[in-house]
Amino acid sequence: MADERYNRKNPAVKRILQEVKEMQATPSDDFMSLPLEENIFEWQFAIRGPGDTEFEGGIYHGRIQLPADYPFKPPSFMLLTPNGRFETNTKICLSISNYHPEH
Residue 66 inside a domain? The answer is yes
46-87 confidence digits (pLDDT tens): 999 999 999 999 999 999 999 999 998 889 999 999 888 888
pLDDT of residue 40: 94
- Give the long-range contacts of residues 2-6, CB within 8 A, separation 24 or more: 2/40, 6/40
Domain count for the chain: 1
Residue 65 inside a domain? The answer is yes
pLDDT of residue 4: 65
Residue 4 inside a domain? The answer is no
Yes or no: say if 15 and 71 are a contact pair by the CB < 8 Å rule: yes
Residue 1 inside a domain? The answer is no
Give the CATH number for residue 26: 3.10.110.10
Contacting residues for 46 by C-beta, under 8 A, at least 6 apart: 31, 32, 33, 59, 60, 61, 62
pLDDT of residue 49: 92
Query: Domain limits at 79?
Result: 11-92
13-52 confidence digits (pLDDT tens): 999 999 999 999 999 999 999 999 899 999 999 999 999 9
Residue 3 inside a domain? The answer is no
Whether 3 shows a pLDDT value over 60: the answer reads no
Residue 101 inside a domain? The answer is no
Residue 88 inside a domain? The answer is yes
Q: Which residues pair with 62 in a beta bridge?
A: 45, 79
Catalytic residues: 93
Residue 6 inside a domain? The answer is no
